[in-house]
Homo-oligomer: A and B are copies of this chain.
Amino acid sequence: MNRKQNIPFLTTRSLHPENQESPIHFLNEWLTSIKYFYRRNHFSYPLLSQRHFWIHIDGMVHKPRFFHYDEILSMPSKSIIVPLECAGNQRANFKPKVYGEQWEEGAISQGKWTGVPLRDILEKVGFSQNAQEIVFVGADSGKKPGVHENIPYTRSLPLEKAMHPDTLIAFQYNDKPINYKHGYPFRLIVPNWYAMASVKWLNTIKVIDYSYKGPFQTDDYVYYPYKDNDKDKFPVTTLNVNSIIQQPLHLSILNTGVHEINGMAWSGRGRIKELQVSFDKGKSWKNATVHQLSNQDYAWSRWSYIWKVEEKGEYTIYARAKDSSGQIQPHTPFWNRKGYGYNAVARITVKVE
């Protein structure tokens, strides 16, 4: 009997709705295989029918109409490599603890999304000069605590972000039709924003001249800095500069010798410029080697550092990324009541025996 390759699995956080984490510490691909793409749902999966192959565009447009799947596939498309990260990624790291799905570090996955720029579709229908936001409705719906009727998953984008040439109506992931669980037939892809903006099973697009107030942007996906009141709240949008240490694992036991410390780093505010590691809890920092895909502005970077350790003992290792906009991971995370946007310095402790 032959040895088989040992393979990782998604880590289950909940089943109804399905929320499963990517086994990020055991993956080193640039493009996450669809089977390892994290799954994050607010509702049960939608029952799809023929009408989901038509995207309806209405609101303040000159010619409201439907676009069929075939028509969208016949339009000029582009492909971009984009990491999608759940705003709640690393929520489990907050202290004090916050309620909600206890995502560790795997609510992030990256792949090649292919689609038609949303602006091309909007230009086909034309829209009012008073347009302020574009609203996106997914085919998934259900009950949300505090809301009485069934509601579909709905989010808006400011016009400027919607018109960015890389905001796509995607129909392929890694050169295949998007997997059912990840939004087939259409998923909005909004580079640089947390993934709640990248609406799955996209079905309706509406142009509006006001500020949309749906619960997925006025209740959830809002930073609440205080435990007991909503003062100073502001919406979750752009990915914070962030990194993780993939290997070695936290609290693992290593031999003396040479080890590669490695991980990933990413930001919604620019390219990763620097990844530093510290062995003295941040007093001094050393540069790691940063590996990047050329011509991919959004893709995560991978980094590595060769560590030679001869003395037995316990070691704490920090890693922090800096991006081209000058943002750097903070020592202390920005605690917020719903646990979004964790991006404090990555930390592990290992024992060398």
Q: A residues bordering B, Cβ < 8 Å?
A: 1-4, 6-12, 14-18, 20, 23, 25-26, 44-45, 47-48, 97-100, 102, 145-146, 180, 249-253, 255, 349-351, 353
Contacts and interface: CB of A to CB of B under 8 A. Distances in A.
Nearest to A252: B99
A20 B12 contact: no
B98 A251 contact: yes
Of listed A6, A8, A9, A16, residue having the most chain B CB within 10 A: A6
A44 B3 CA distance: 8
16 contacts: A1-B47, A1-B48, A1-B180, A3-B47, A6-B15, A6-B18, A8-B20, A12-B25, A14-B249, A14-B252, A15-B26, A97-B251, A97-B349, A98-B251, A145-B255, A145-B353
A6 B11 contact: no
Contacts of A253: 99-100, 145
A7 B16 CA distance: 10
A45 B3 contact: yes
A20 B9 contact: yes
Contacts of A251: 97-100, 102
Contacts of A2: 47
